[in-house]
A = this chain, B = another copy of it.
């Protein structure tokens, strides 16, 4: 089994600001949107640094990466288990909490102001070839 070494070795100013921004974000921004917010406090930060840190934080389980959005990837500063719903037309993403879901069989959810038509469920882990 691969050693789970932390990738968070140095708390740089840029990383700290990014973490604070994600912690306070109450929506599901794209990397570029995050970049624009972080830039208010770290004007010289680069988009590359934002991407690198978002990768680190999501690998460390401190944020969530949402790929199933029908468009650009989005990020969620809340790492606690919860789920999402997105609009097939405009792409907006909203949170869904465990309590809003009927777990009696394949999940069903109701979300005020949303007509849900389906869901996607993807598990993740390691195949035996990659598990050393």
Interface residues of A (CB under 8 A from B): 66-70, 81, 83-90, 92, 94, 96, 98, 103-107, 109, 111, 113-131
Contacts and interface: CB of A to CB of B under 8 A. Distances in A.
Count copies of this chain in the complex.
2
A119 B94 CA distance: 18
A16 B68 CA distance: 27
Interface SS of chain A: helix, strand, loop or mixed? Answer: strand
A107 B126 contact: no
B126 A89 contact: yes
Given A103-B103, A103-B106, A130-B89, A96 B123 contact: yes
Contacts of A98: 106
Nearest to A119: B123
Nearest to A108: B123
